[in-house]
Amino acid sequence: MIDFEARLSKVVGESAKKLEKAFGHRTVGDLLRHYPRRYIDLEHPDSFDELEPGQVVAFVATVLDVKKLSFRNNPRKFRVVVTLSDGRATMEAVFFNQYAVSKTPVGSQQLLSGEVSVYQGRLQLASPHMRELPEGKTLADLGRGGGALPIYPAGGGLTSWDVERAVNVALDVVDVFPEPIPTDVRSARGLLDAPTAYEYIHRPRKRSDWVFAQTRLRFEEAFEVQAVFARRRLDSQQRRATARPGRGDGIRVAFEQRLPFTLTEGQAQVAAEIDQDLADTHPMHRLLQGEVGSGKTIVALLAMLQVVDSGGQAALLAPTEVLATQHHRSMERMLGDLAKGGMLGGADEATRVRLLTGSMGAKARQQALLDIQSGEAGIVVGTHALLEETVRFADLGLVVIDEQHRFGVEQRAALSDRAAAADGVAPHVLVMTATPIPRTIAMTVFGDLEVSTLRELPAGRQPIQTNVVPVAEQPAWLDRAWQRVHEEVGRGRQAYVVVSRIGESATDEDAEPPEDDDEEKRPTVGLVELAEALAEGPLAGLRLGRLHGRMPPDEKDAVMSAFAVGDLDVLVATTVVEVGVDVPNATMMIVMDADRFGVSQLHQLRGRVGRGSEPGLCLLVTGAPAGAPARERLAAVAASTDGFELSRLDVELRREGDVLGARQSGVRSSLRLLSVVRDESIIAAAREAAVEALTSGDVPADLEASIRRLEESERADYLERA
Ligand code: ADP
Ligand code: MG
């Protein structure tokens, strides 16, 4: 019997080694899940005059001309421009630094597939896949008697043809196909069964074949991932947690009474949801997401105090030292005498907030560890250092993770598992995202969490005005921008200037470079250079500070504090200020080389201003020319302050893999056909079906196997990175 677990070497012989080397495929299943990237519909081939930008096409064309051109600024780099004809019209394909392409024979017939783009007002194919059609063959000869030709992802010395041959051998001999989708789910949604789906995806005879096959396999991917999450949720309902219902006369109530503002409706509602979760004897697993500045921190603090009131401890895990330090400071400030437990001037009912970071001195660290272990510290704020073995909590009741895309599922698990290990009782977990994320991503990346969302901003918040400063066309606007900084400072306000890199090297930190295919990269300004120029020039006379990720922690801290208390007027910083930095008196931000930042990142950055009662102003400085994609991106950020809308846009502008980013662990890397951007309704339906399948108790064996496979690959992925 040959199933998906069978070794490839038993089935395809010699090719097995090459397939493993090229793609890492070891089993028949690996190979059969290597789906065609696209198909050539032999009945309806694409023709040039019907093409549109963004369209993914495949066609056969004749080569009219091949030109090899080098770049002016870098003679070692070159591009090859191939002029193609479909018999009626012509079109160009461009390839970068591919020597072999420059040898393409004029007059040869080529099979091309790729995405249509626009360059200098004309349609072209940039870096398409191109393969010569064997001499004397026509398209019809290539389709295996049917009307469609699969094009496979190639690479590692293997062409699409090679893959196709191996797939055909495997398809012919395999006799058991895994069927993780229960029959009733399949028939309710009109999905193909597994053997048919694999046949149709690899050997379609017509367009509808591969469309139906993709539909079924796409659903399967969503269904398996959601089954993993559904299982985790069910499991966590089986786990025990200590109920932390709080007290009517505790610190939380005292704190609420002295809050200088009333909670927004959204905050009150989410806080109530969390209250309820905490009072339960099953661990909470909740995601709190919200608009930048919507006041997530207060909500988290209320939850932490409720746990403290119930005799437990709460830990807040922050992604950077700057942020951890700031959280620590602002919590102590907000709590006042409520954070002076056992100290002179402390309230009758009070706790302590402790900070633990990797760079603390031995003595401070020792003191923190002691307070954590004795339970004296009710609230512990820290970075990764909190995850270390030496950190022992007296009674950890709640873990809050300020996620900011930087912590994965595994780290979340690490902290709560370790806390649980002692007595089998798990802490409650609250995850916060720094920027809003679209629903599909939330479901795919945080699918094991319940989701609470804060949409509104506190009342009285002035909207942030955002303008693009296009220095290429309007160089004088930049001078005007510096003048505005003087005006703000003159009114007692403060400003940020954000840069994309620190200094000498162009690859330093921090900005996520977007992927416009600029042939010549514009130079960017570094922090050191700019800070010096500003101090001597446009911002002379103002008190300037610098902040970047490579400064020693105590220096960083000193600068942040100085800015927070108003001893500095202007902070020139890298994206270390991106996450959660909160100085309400800062009203203006200038982002240099704004085109180097992603949409959500810019939204997060500008959320640093306009946090008080004064209107905020954000200027996006860019050298990108009018009409460039970067400019459209910036215009979008300027036009909208809706973080959910912008994050959707961000997702659309990036490639799938980048969306899931650092969190691309096992579960996510199993997605081949499913798009977390496009397939929202499929993901939602799959989630419902998965919950039903798992709670019914009648779980197909093949679904159990899929869940195990995904969980294992996630664990392996974690170990690899740890
Ligand atoms: P974020 O959701 O981006 O983390 P924060 O929690 O940092 O936002 O809150 C932003 C600012 O708004 C803070 O200065 C906080 O004290 C203030 N804030 C929070 N909730 C309210 C409210 N209900 N009314 C007024 N100000 C609030
Ligand atoms: Mg925050």
Name the residue with the closest Cα to ligand 1, atom 17.
295
Name the residue with the closest Cα to ligand 1, atom 19.
295
Name the residue with the closest Cα to ligand 1, atom 15.
295
pLDDT band of residue 49 (cuts 50, 70, 90) is: confident
Most ligand 1 atoms within 8 A of CB, residue of 289, 326, 611, 614 to mutate: 611
Question: How far is it, in rounded angstroms, from Cα 345 to Cα 352?
Answer: 13
pLDDT in tens, 197-243: 999 999 998 889 999 999 999 999 999 989 998 998 888 788 889 99
Residues with C-beta less than 6 Å from any ligand 1 atom = 261, 263-264, 267, 290, 292-298, 458, 580, 582, 584, 607, 611
Atom of ligand 1 nearest to the CA of 330: 16
- The predicted model gives 658-669 an average pLDDT of 48
Name the residue with the closest Cα to ligand 1, atom 1.
293
Name the residue with the closest Cα to ligand 1, atom 26.
458
Most ligand 1 atoms within 8 A of CB, residue of 582, 604, 608, 647 to mutate: 582
Among the bound ligands, name the one nearest to the CA of residue 404.
2
pLDDT value of position 425: 84
> Is the predicted pLDDT of residue 678 greater than 80, yes or no?
no
pLDDT in tens, 249-280: 999 999 999 999 999 999 999 999 999 999 99
Share of the chain above pLDDT 90, in %: 48
Atom of ligand 1 nearest to the CA of 292: 3
What distance lies between CA 679 and its chain's CA centroid?
Answer: 17
Name the residue with the closest Cα to ligand 1, atom 12.
295
Share of the chain above pLDDT 70, in %: 88
Q: Considering the entire predicted model, what is its pTM?
A: 0.73
Atom of ligand 1 nearest to the CA of 299: 6
Name the residue with the closest Cα to ligand 1, atom 5.
295
How far, in Å, is the centroid of ligand 2 from the Cα of 58?
A: 47
Most ligand 1 atoms within 8 A of CB, residue of 261, 265, 435, 604 to mutate: 261
Residue 204 burial (10 A CB sphere; 0-12, 13-18, 19+)? buried
pLDDT in tens, 612-643: 778 899 999 999 888 888 898 899 999 998 88
User: Which tokens is 126 given?
Assistant: 């940039």
Contact 432/296 with Cβ under 8 angstroms? yes
How far, in Å, is the centroid of ligand 1 from the Cα of 694?
A: 40
pLDDT value of position 604: 85
Residues with Cβ within 8 Å of 101's Cβ and at least 6 positions away in sequence, in order, are: 66, 80, 82, 95, 130
How far, in Å, is the centroid of ligand 1 from the Cα of 22?
A: 51
Contact 221/241 with Cβ under 8 angstroms? no
Sign (positive/negative) of CA torsion 303, 308, 310, 314?
A: positive
- The predicted model gives 673-692 an average pLDDT of 87
Tell me which amino acid residue 367 is. Answer: Q
- The predicted model gives 65-78 an average pLDDT of 86
pLDDT value of position 119: 85
From first CA to last CA, the distance across the chain in angstroms is 38
Name the residue with the closest Cα to ligand 1, atom 25.
458
Question: How far is it, in rounded angstroms, from Cα 548 to Cα 575?
Answer: 8
How far, in Å, is the centroid of ligand 1 from the Cα of 333?
A: 14
From start to end of 537-664, where are the E strands?
544-547, 570-573, 586-591, 616-622
Give the residue with greater pLDDT, 512 vs 356: 356
- The predicted model gives 509-527 an average pLDDT of 59
From start to end of 539-694, where are the E strands?
544-547, 570-573, 586-591, 616-622
> Is the predicted pLDDT of residue 514 greater than 80, yes or no?
no
> Is the predicted pLDDT of residue 509 greater than 70, yes or no?
no
- The predicted model gives 662-685 an average pLDDT of 71
Atom of ligand 1 nearest to the CA of 298: 6
pLDDT value of position 109: 86
Q: Which residues on neighbouring strands pair with residue 494, listed in sequence order?
A: 586
pLDDT value of position 330: 87
